[in-house]
Structure 1
Amino acid sequence: MCDSRIKEYETVIEKMSEGYFPRKLSGEMPVDDLGRLGMALLELSKKLEKKFDEMQKLSEVTTHINEGLFLDEILDQLYDSFRNIIPYERIGLAMLEEGESVLRAHWERSEAKQVYLKGGFKALMAGSSLQQILETGNPRIINNLKKYLLEHPCSASTKLIVKEGIRSSLTCPLVVQGKPIGFIFFSSFLTNAYRETHISIFKQIANQLASIIEKGKVYEELYQLNLKLQRANARLEDLATYDDLTGVCNRRIFNEMLHKEWFRAIRHSTVISLIMIDVDYFKNYNDSYGHVAGDFCLNKIAETITRIIKRPGDLIARYGGEEFVVLLPETEIRAAQSIAEQIRLGIENLGIEHRESLNADVVTISAGLTTMKPQNDNDPLQIISEADDALYKAKYGGRNRVVTLSGELISL
């Protein structure tokens, strides 16, 4: 008759294959060959359960770590995730640089009162014990760092972590597709903190962990590169939009905004005012005071006009050389005249010395103003021409004045 224990053993094996690990068998276990087989099955069940739990924890660790995108995020996840499987009070990451000849500390998290081995610390790989770890591919345990330091007194990194209170370390190489990228250092305040089982645990996820860290490093580099590109594009956009010297808009942007406001004024049947400004005797100023002083003068003028032009829709631009232009949408002529006179007085009141001026002892400006109601049968160049003619009259009428040109397109 078939022994009933055989049927129970078959059930135990089926359950273990499904991930369930029995811890006891029913009935008594006579000490015979079949009984010893049953005891061996229970022992195997315990070992498999331990292994299964270990693999589950490792899977949870790698899943959790992989949730990070940036390298520091990944490493922070790592610090929080490994506690259940490897003991530590400190974890550090160092990356290989300069053709794998230099190792640089990249990141650390420590429970020490003061951290001495910080990011940026560098060490040469040639002839170092870490080079030997890379060659073998096996993690290294040092369970008494104070003793190790006595035997290797020139090890600067060991001096620093011993100063932090670290007494044991587990050094693990990181390799991606056969290429070493750096090391992870697990460290403990306790001596004899690490065992071969910890090496075994790390090896089970070493490849995944190294790949995740490399992914984070590459993602971070791409992110930083993208930031640089964005800044470069913003700089190019600034160069295309703003005058490099004064910081106000350039002529190209003025032309674009004038066309935009011109056709908007046609749609809404509103007016546009335009002020063209020229610095009086600016060539004489440059010749007398130099170009550095000339640049300073133009900057102060731009600042003064910007301070006076307050509405969001108004625009100040450097038109060229010492000429500025002010675009005032939906501004009637009298309001524009008031603004132009404020600008003239504001610049005169700066009191910038100008010994070579023929009509004043300070820097002044001449301004030409016109106001138009755009129509479908005219174009924006007409308002520029009208304002330029008014400026001509201001300059040759004595300078340091505002002249308003009244043309047939003016609508009051």
Structure 2
Amino acid sequence: LEAPTHAGIYSDHLRSLWEILQQNSELSSAFKKILIDKNNVELEALIAYKLDSLGLVKLNFNECITSRELYRIYFQKGIERTELDYQERLEELEKDNQKLQNLVNIDSLTQIYNRRYFDQYLNAEWQRMAREKSPLSLILLDVDCFKLYNDTYGHQAGDNCLQQVALTVRNCLKYPTHIIARYGGEEFAVILPQTDQKYAYSVAEKISNKIKFLAIKHINSQVKLGIVTVSIGVSCTVPNYQENPSILVRAADEAIYQSKAQGRDRITISPFLNFNSSK
């Protein structure tokens, strides 16, 4: 800090006082209170006498005012700079924390949630839906004949395809609690809390149609359309505390297997778990 004096005569003295205040939070807090309130401020006797011994204040019993206007100017500027630095550091810390969360939870290729976050979120929503006695739906989708797509067009094109599919699915989700995650290589998962089977099926239909609308060429696909398509499995249940979300995943996985067995490019609802609201 630079002393606001013509020749900087008091700079070393002021810096030493500043360091003392920085090392003692009680003194620093009390002196800040005096700087903010230009009237006499009443402090605890010990704190008041410590500030007085440093020459920072004038005492009237336990009431204090700054002993020199120079101190008010110098230290007020120092406090403002300190608070600004603190705010900047806090903002940087928040940005770094967000970057760290992204590294941990976001799939680097598709920029959607990864398998780790999927597991965490599904478990959390299972518990929440069990408390609320509300339905929880899961959509699993797999890009049809994706190995053939990679073999035909190359891995860079394959990566681009997965990115387009991920973005398309994400844009099909209406509510912030509905999330998409990359479940495996070319497999994606959509978690739909507070969603019954009927609505989950409508979301799956929208996803299937939107992906076909992309018209990503796939000449070697076993689906006769000649474009990228997806096979989808849907499961839904009202969670309870006696079971765990693996049953929901297993049911959707069996449903997606049926979609593939029946020719791909279709949606299968699990017959093992299902819930439709009566509304």
Q: How far apart are 1:211 and its partner, in Å? A: 7.5
Other-structure match for 1:296:
160
Cα distance in 2 for partners of 1:305, 1:239 equals 21
Aligned pair 1:343/2:188, yes or no? no
Other-structure match for 1:252:
116
- The answer to whether the Cα contact below 8 Å between 1:348 and 1:362 also exists between their aligned partners in 2 is yes
- Distance change >3 Å, CA 246–CA 205, structure 1 → 2: same
Other-structure match for 1:381:
246
Q: Which amino acid aligns with 1:383?
A: L
In the TM superposition, 1:109-258 aligns within 5 A as: 176=12, 220-221=84-85, 223-258=87-122
Q: Which amino acid aligns with 1:332?
A: D
Q: How far apart are 1:305 and its partner, in Å? A: 1.1
Other-structure match for 1:194:
none
Q: How far apart are 1:295 and its partner, in Å? A: 2.2
Cα distance in 1 for partners of 2:204, 2:143 equals 14
Aligned pair 1:404/2:265, yes or no? no
Cα distance in 1 for partners of 2:160, 2:13 equals 59
Q: Which amino acid aligns with 2:210?
A: G
Structure number with the bigger relative contact order (C-alpha 8 A, sep ≥ 6) is: 2
Q: Which amino acid aligns with 2:142?
A: D
Cα distance in 1 for partners of 2:217, 2:129 equals 41
| Aligned pairs, number | 223
Q: Which amino acid aligns with 1:389?
A: E
Aligned pair 1:273/2:141, yes or no? no
Instruction: Give the SS at the match of 2:183.
Output: strand
- Distance change >3 Å, CA 284–CA 209, structure 1 → 2: same
Aligned pair 1:363/2:228, yes or no? yes
Q: How far apart are 1:261 and its partner, in Å? A: 2.1
- The answer to whether the Cα contact below 8 Å between 1:174 and 1:207 also exists between their aligned partners in 2 is no
Aligned pair 1:317/2:181, yes or no? yes
Other-structure match for 2:194:
330
Instruction: Give the SS at the match of 2:214.
Output: coil
Q: How far apart are 1:252 and its partner, in Å? A: 2.3
Q: How far apart are 1:216 and its partner, in Å? A: 6.0
Question: How does the TM-score come out when normalised to structure 1?
Answer: 0.47
- Distance change >3 Å, CA 226–CA 173, structure 1 → 2: farther
Instruction: Give the SS at the match of 1:349.
Output: helix
**RMSD, aligned CA:** 3.3
- Distance change >3 Å, CA 238–CA 178, structure 1 → 2: same
> 1:178-214: per-residue Cα shift (whole Å, max 9, x none)?
99xxxxxxxxxxxxxxxxxxxxxxxx99999778767
Question: How does the TM-score come out when normalised to structure 2?
Answer: 0.68
> 1:370-406: per-residue Cα shift (whole Å, max 9, x none)?
1222233321100001101111111222111111120
How high is the sequence identity, in percent, across the aligned residues? 35
Q: Which moved more, 1:223-232 or 1:278-287?
A: 223-232
Structure 1, unmatched stretches of 5+, are 1-70, 87-138, 140-171, 180-203
Other-structure match for 1:162:
none
